[in-house]
Amino acid sequence: MELPNSYWDKLASRYPRYTDESIRRDAKFIFGVAHNFGVEFEDKNILDIGCGTGTLAIPLASKASKITALDLSQPMLDIFANDITTLNLDNKVDIILSSWDDFELAQTYDIVIASMTPAISSIEHFDKFISSTSSYGIFVGWGDYKNNDIVDILIEKHNASKSKTFGQTQKFINHLMAKNIHHTSSYFETSWSDDYSFDDAFEYCISHLERFGIKANESIIKETLQIKQQNNKITFTTNAQKGVVVFKNFFV
Ligand SMILES: C[S@@+](CC[C@H](N)C(=O)[O-])C[C@H]1O[C@@H](n2cnc3c(N)ncnc32)[C@H](O)[C@@H]1O
């Protein structure tokens, strides 16, 4: 399901930053897979598509010669820009407010990254992504599952089941295989917890049920959240699989 820009704008203030523990673990795994495939970030010109708050771009900024960080959400980029300034890394980063579709590719980059972003979701996006690198590309997407303790209870209480909307990583791998592009891939488990007020938790549940195509029953949600509420907050814990794919582009 395509998410509107406003979804990302609204998410920005609670989206994890580069300091978040779960994000740091993921980044270490992703960079490790890239390193084992021969990727070196030192002095490279890097494009990060759908960079968000800079979870991957910030740890790379001190090594790279330049990072071009592209995202369609101004609030995400504001958080990123603020952290970059605090870290005195402004001269290393060019920030671009644009969707991947609208971005005019005027050059290639040594390394191109797209992590957890719907910017790279169609075959056309895949091809533009592949053609934007002169050497390496790093793709991170959902693997086979994403379980959230409270949302999963609600799905059951709605007598529904989760439609499988994941597997974007496999779709990208299939595309690379069809094009005979040399690559490696690896899956890993990640988990994180988030605290919400009752009202925000309610909205979160409605939007997640809708994403699974389930018509939300408000009284079921309220009743469930009341049971889960402790000290005026509701904690959601998510366990999910992510996949990382690193490819080398010989053909550009
Ligand atoms: C889940 S966040 C990922 C952020 C970061 N790459 C990470 O791995 O933590 C997805 C980001 O993609 C951005 N995004 C969504 N659709 C996009 C598009 N079509 N073009 C560019 N950015 C997009 C969103 O604004 C959001 O910041």
**Neighbouring C-beta atoms of residue 120, cutoff 10 Å:** 24
> What one-character DSSP code corresponds to residue 13?
G
Q: How far apart are CA 128 and CA 71, in angstroms?
A: 16
Find the distance separating the first CA and the last CA of the chain, reported in whole Å.
Answer: 32
**Alpha carbon of 53 to ligand 1 centroid (Å):** 9
State the DSSP string of 133-156.
Answer: EEEEEEEEEEEEEEEEHHHHHHHH
Is the CATH number 3.40.190.10 carried by domain 5-146+164-191+241-248?
A: no
**Residue 1 pLDDT grade (very low, low, confident, very high; cuts 50, 70, 90):** low
Output the CA–CA distances (angstroms, integers) from residue 95 to 12, 59, 91, 173, 227, in the order listed: 16, 16, 11, 29, 44
CA dihedral for 12, 18, 20, 22, sign (positive or negative): positive
**Alpha carbon of 99 to ligand 1 centroid (Å):** 9
pLDDT at 211: 80
pTM of the model: 0.92
Answer yes or no: are the C-beta atoms of 100 and 124 closer than 8 Å: no
Answer yes or no: are the C-beta atoms of 193 and 243 closer than 8 Å: no
Higher per-residue pLDDT: 136 or 204: 136
Report whether residue 244 contacts ligand 1, using a CB cutoff of 6 Å.
Answer: no
Would the pLDDT of 2 be above 90?
no
Residue recorded with tokens 């889960």: 228
Would the pLDDT of 4 be above 70?
no
> Would residue 86 be called left, alpha or beta, if left means φ above 0 and alpha means ψ between -120 and 50 degrees?
alpha
Q: Which amino acid is at 233?
A: K
Mean pLDDT of the chain: 93
Report whether residue 33 contacts ligand 1, using a CB cutoff of 6 Å.
Answer: no
**Residue 165 pLDDT grade (very low, low, confident, very high; cuts 50, 70, 90):** low
Q: How far apart are CA 25 and CA 36, in angstroms?
A: 17
In terms of DSSP bridges, do strands 93-97 and 66-71 run parallel, antiparallel, or are they unpaired? Answer: parallel
Report whether residue 26 contacts ligand 1, using a CB cutoff of 6 Å.
Answer: no
Report whether residue 51 contacts ligand 1, using a CB cutoff of 6 Å.
Answer: yes
Question: pLDDT per residue over 203-237, tens digit each?
Answer: 999 988 988 889 999 999 999 999 999 999 999 99
**Alpha carbon of 58 to ligand 1 centroid (Å):** 15
Mean per-residue pLDDT for 109-128?
97
Question: pLDDT per residue over 172-214, tens digit each?
Answer: 999 999 999 999 999 999 999 999 999 999 999 998 898 888 9
> What one-character DSSP code corresponds to residue 36?
H
CA dihedral for 205, 207, 212, 217, sign (positive or negative): positive
**Alpha carbon of 145 to ligand 1 centroid (Å):** 20
